[in-house]
Structure 1
Amino acid sequence: MRVIVVGAGVLGTLHAWHAVERGHEVVQIEREAEARGASLRNFGLVWVGGRASGPELETALRARELWAEIGARTPALGFRPNGSLTLVTGARERAVAEAAVARPDAAARGYKLLTPDEARALNPALGGTFDAALYCERDAAVEPRTAQLALRAELRRSPRYTFLPGREVREVIGDRAVRDDHGDVHHGDTVVLCTGAWLGGLVRELAGPELPVRRVRLQMMQTDPLDTPLTTSVADADSFRYYPAYASPALDELNAGQPQPPTAAEHRMQLLMVQRADGSLTIGDTHEYAHPFAFDTVEDPYDHLAAVAETVLGRPLPRIRRRWAGVYAQCTDPGAVVHRQRVRDGVWLVTGPGGRGMTCAPAMAETTADELGW
């Protein structure tokens, strides 16, 4: 079989990976020299703990297994099973963590409620004050800025894989063929469009104007290296408000009785913090849904994130090295893990993984491969 994959973000690259692994010839086409979208502008989190029960959690757990397998073959991916700690303070936040630990699927997620001393035994960098920490053993991390490069370097070891950068696909010709902006036509047995947050142009033409996918904008930042290991990923209790796993009467009480600070509420914020391989910290994030998005970044969210991160660490942050904004595509169907649509005979659009793209991409791509009979 010959598979044409359009898009070289993490979702497209994992589709190429599964096709090559199953013995097929793959041509992967990317409009940039390298992917520059949400697949790079994220935390690199393999975030199992916050996923909704059912298909979403099952997809995340399967993806976690696949990331471990791929990481063992591709050390440059930077896979590490570091787990995560969500720090809580006060009775309301603790009640949400206790409700999470009482879930029927808590063991599958690796949930444990830890005392501050137990949390610091796992992550000694936590020098701030907190009352308890929700530990998720199944969470992990990869290096987002280099993951696609590492995966592609491994793919290029196969003579069945071809990467064509700097080419924008402009047209689907008949069935199972695409024409790029160089005028070249690429024929395959299957075409998979993994175009990320690019939802206009050809995607709109093929999928129609009612595509159940929206774009979400975020802001994040990265520091200079921290001089001590941050051995787990870290979140604050505001993350309870944004992940479906934590829905409960306790969360309702938290939202009603302990609203977020104004800046956090305005920008729909949570603290997520991950240490990169070079020791730097990736810190975020915000959520913006209303179009048109701003073209600039706003300082208030960064000030809030820095203050919360310093409270968690009990010390000043290293110098902020870079700030950025990103846009990702999020499926609006609450029952779907990703939007997967046949737009022509033999041509499939796979988009809208949302904030779970880096977490779930290996399993999302595996499901496509299974469903298409690769």
Structure 2
Amino acid sequence: MRIIIVGAGALGTMHAFEAVARGHEVVHLEREREARGASVRNFGLVWVSGRANGTELETALRARELWERIGKDVPGVGFRAIGSLTVCRTPAELAVAEHATAHGGERGFTLLDPERARAVNPALRGDFTAALHCATDAAVESRVALPALREHLLKSGRYTFLAGREVRDVKAGEVRDDHGDTHTGDHVVLTTGAWLGGLVRELAGELPVRRVRLQMMQTEALAEPLTTAVADGDSFRYYPGFDSPARDRMAAVQKQPEIAAAHKMQLLMVQRLDGGLTIGDTHEYDEPFAFDVVEEPYDHLAATAEAILGRPLPRVRRRWAGVYAQTLATGEIVHRQSIADGVLLVTGPGGRGMTCSPAIAETSAEALGW
């Protein structure tokens, strides 16, 4: 088959990867010169630990398996099976971690005391009560993974990447771009990320998808390895995999600091291959979103990270905001919608895009009969 894919973020690139792996020809269009949306503005975490039981966890575990395979075939994506430590600093957080350990199933949870946690990640020299270790969590290099995958695909001889092409019209088996070129194929897959207006609205109408804005930052190199990804106890609040009576009690007895509650914050931290730390994040749901970033959330994140590390952070080099699309359908991993015969819209993975994209693409391929 000949597959036309619109959008070169994580979802689009993984759909291209899946199509080529199944022996098909792919024409891949991206309106920017390089993807600039949520796929390159995230942590690069393959985050299994917080996924809800059922389809979401199954999808994340399958994607984790696929990411490891992809990492062996395409070393440039920077796949590392680093696991994660979620640091507990209060009795309420510890209770959530204890429940998760007892009911974690395939996530690979182990509850560690501080000494054992530091044996896993010696960089954590701050004060904490315990740490929830998840062996299945992993990371890729979000800023370079997609170009590395495209370079790999080009070697197949069955992949064409056309950057700077905004799509103007889509019909069954046909896409017209703003250069006036028409691309034909057996199937069209639209993976347009948080771009939900314009042509997407004309084709699909109003979608059961919302946009979410976040703020993040990256430091200069830490002077030692951060051997796992790191989260704080506030992350228990935002991931459905930790839903439990213990979490309900934590929400009742342990209020977030005002700034953290206002920005719906958690600490996530992962080390890049150059030694720098990517740190975040906040959540904003009400549009219109601000065009600027605000400093108070960064101050809170830095203080939390420093308390866990037990020392000052390296100098912050970059700050940014990003916007991703999140399906509102209960129990759905992503929003899929048939636009026309052989035309499929795939959007709204939420904060699961980098984690789950290989498995989402695999499911799309099977649904389309690739």
**TM-score w.r.t. length of structure 1:** 0.98
**1:113-158 deviations in Å (ceiling 9; x for gaps):** 1110110000000010100000100000000000101101100101
Q: Identify the residue that residue 137 of structure 2 maps to in structure 1.
A: 139
Q: Identify the residue that residue 190 of structure 1 maps to in structure 2.
A: 187
C-alpha distance in structure 2 between counterparts of 1:237 and 1:324, whole Å:
23
* Matched position secondary structure for 1:230: coil
C-alpha distance in structure 2 between counterparts of 1:234 and 1:347, whole Å:
40
1:26 and 2:50 are equivalent in the alignment: no
| Residue identity in the other structure for 2:36 | R
1:266 and 2:242 are equivalent in the alignment: no
Unaligned runs of 5+ in 1: none
Moved more, 334-343 or 266-275: 334-343
Report how far residue 250 of structure 1 moved: 0.8
Report how far residue 182 of structure 1 moved: 0.6
CA RMSD of aligned residues (A): 0.6
Q: Identify the residue that residue 102 of structure 2 maps to in structure 1.
A: 102
Q: Identify the residue that residue 50 of structure 1 maps to in structure 2.
A: 50
Pick aligned residue for 2:115 from 114, 117, 129: 117
1:250 and 2:242 are equivalent in the alignment: no
Report how far residue 206 of structure 1 moved: 1.1
| Residue identity in the other structure for 2:320 | W
1:70 and 2:63 are equivalent in the alignment: no
* Matched position secondary structure for 2:323: strand
* Matched position secondary structure for 1:119: helix
**1:92-132 deviations in Å (ceiling 9; x for gaps):** 111000111121xx241000111101100000000101000
C-alpha distance in structure 2 between counterparts of 1:352 and 1:14, whole Å:
15
Q: Identify the residue that residue 199 of structure 1 maps to in structure 2.
A: 196
C-alpha distance in structure 1 between counterparts of 2:25 and 2:147, whole Å:
19
Report how far residue 243 of structure 1 moved: 0.1
Q: Identify the residue that residue 233 of structure 2 maps to in structure 1.
A: 237
Aligned length: 370
Report how far residue 66 of structure 1 moved: 0.3
Report how far residue 280 of structure 1 moved: 0.1
1:5 and 2:5 are equivalent in the alignment: yes
**TM-score w.r.t. length of structure 2:** 0.99
C-alpha distance in structure 1 between counterparts of 2:91 and 2:266, whole Å:
19
C-alpha distance in structure 1 between counterparts of 2:143 and 2:123, whole Å:
24
**1:286-345 deviations in Å (ceiling 9; x for gaps):** 000001001110000000000000001000000000000000000011210000110111
| Residue identity in the other structure for 1:141 | A
Report how far residue 176 of structure 1 moved: 1.5
Report how far residue 53 of structure 1 moved: 0.4
* Matched position secondary structure for 1:224: strand
1:271-350 matched pairs, under 5 angstroms: 271-350=267-346
C-alpha distance in structure 2 between counterparts of 1:229 and 1:264, whole Å:
27
1:149-188 matched pairs, under 5 angstroms: 149-173=147-171, 175-188=172-185
C-alpha distance in structure 2 between counterparts of 1:291 and 1:258, whole Å:
29
Q: Identify the residue that residue 215 of structure 1 maps to in structure 2.
A: 211
* Matched position secondary structure for 1:112: strand
* Matched position secondary structure for 2:40: coil
* Matched position secondary structure for 2:39: coil
**1:38-64 deviations in Å (ceiling 9; x for gaps):** 000000000000000000000000000
C-alpha distance in structure 2 between counterparts of 1:89 and 1:306, whole Å:
16
Report how far residue 89 of structure 1 moved: 1.4
| Residue identity in the other structure for 1:186 | H
Pick aligned residue for 1:366 from 362, 367, 370: 362
C-alpha distance in structure 2 between counterparts of 1:56 and 1:107, whole Å:
14
| Residue identity in the other structure for 1:214 | R
Unaligned runs of 5+ in 2: none
* Matched position secondary structure for 1:172: strand
C-alpha distance in structure 2 between counterparts of 1:296 and 1:252, whole Å:
34
